[in-house]
Amino acid sequence: MKLVRFVYKKKIFVGKILGDKVVPISGKPRFKPVLLENVKLLSPVAPSKVVLVGLNYRDHAKELGMPLPNEPIIFIKPASSVIGPDDVIEYPPESERVDYEAEIAVVIKNKVSCIAPSAVEKNILGYTCLNDVTARDIQKSDGQWTRSKSFDTFCPIGPWIETDLDPTNLAIKSYLNGDLKQNSSTSEFIFKIPELVSFISRVMTLFPGDVISTGTPHGIGPMKPGDTIVVEIEGIGQLRNFVRRK
């Protein structure tokens, strides 16, 4: 099942996708299914936090010439950075290089803390696409990642949450202005999703709707104002955004 958040007649609803239509499952007033083209899709989730993992693909580590980490490297994007499909990524004046990073993200279903890997699956609502937008020059100059990854609009998520999916061997791609830039598979994970969620839950409590993004494969690169960036994940779909100067 594909779950969405959307705006229809100036109100926000939660719904599910049926073919080319969306059916509301919460919010008032209720109404009959409407064509997707007649609604505005939002980020499918409004998280309290987005926890991301750095260097979690073997091919990306090889690309960077870095050893595989012994433990997951985690960081956080604020909720204020979240945008949805077809929204604009704003190129901040502080940066001269802003990169795309295609990722598959996990949406948490229940409040969890200190759970074992074996308990992770039943606490996952589903999976979605995420673009870990990064001001690469700021990341290098700061020596840590918070500012470079936390600008408003730097966390596109969507277009929906797919609840019925095996994430272990999915194609993951990104396209910049239609040109294929990243092309890998989640089989390249260094740390699998149960291990990641368990590890993070031992650091911080995870709440329903929180998002864990699982790292990006090889092929990251810069975007420029005027570009269109698409993250595509097998079994989920495409997340498209547009880059503009702030």
Domain ranges of the chain: 1-42, 45-245
Predicted confidence band at 29 (pLDDT cuts at 50, 70, 90)? low
Cβ atoms of 73 and 64 within 8 Å: the answer is: no
Tokens 């009959």 correspond to 32
Q: Give this prediction's pTM.
A: 0.95
pLDDT of amino acid 40: 96
- Is 45-245 the same fold as 1-42? no
Q: Strand pairing partners for 11?
A: 8
Taken as a whole, the chain contains a residue count of 246
pLDDT of amino acid 176: 98
In tens, the pLDDT along 84-120 reads 999 999 999 999 999 999 999 999 999 999 999 999 9
pLDDT of amino acid 27: 62
Whether residue 17 is predicted with pLDDT greater than 80 in this model: the reply is yes
Extract the tokens encoding 155.
Answer: 């966390």
In tens, the pLDDT along 175-197 reads 999 999 999 999 999 999 999 99
Question: How far apart, in whole angstroms, are the C-alpha atoms of residue 20 and residue 155?
Answer: 26
Class of domain 45-245: alpha beta
What is the mean predicted confidence (pLDDT) over 231-242? 98
Whether residue 36 is predicted with pLDDT greater than 70 in this model: the reply is yes
Percent of the chain with pLDDT over 90: 88
**Residue 223: how many CB atoms within 10 A of its CB?**
22
pLDDT of amino acid 28: 66
pLDDT of amino acid 64: 72
Q: What is the enclosing helix (H) or strand (E) of 13?
A: strand 11-18
DSSP assignment of 185-216 equals EGGGBSS-HHHHHHHHHTTS-B-TT-EEE---
The CATH architecture that domain 1-42 belongs to is Roll (2.30)
Whether residue 135 is predicted with pLDDT greater than 70 in this model: the reply is yes
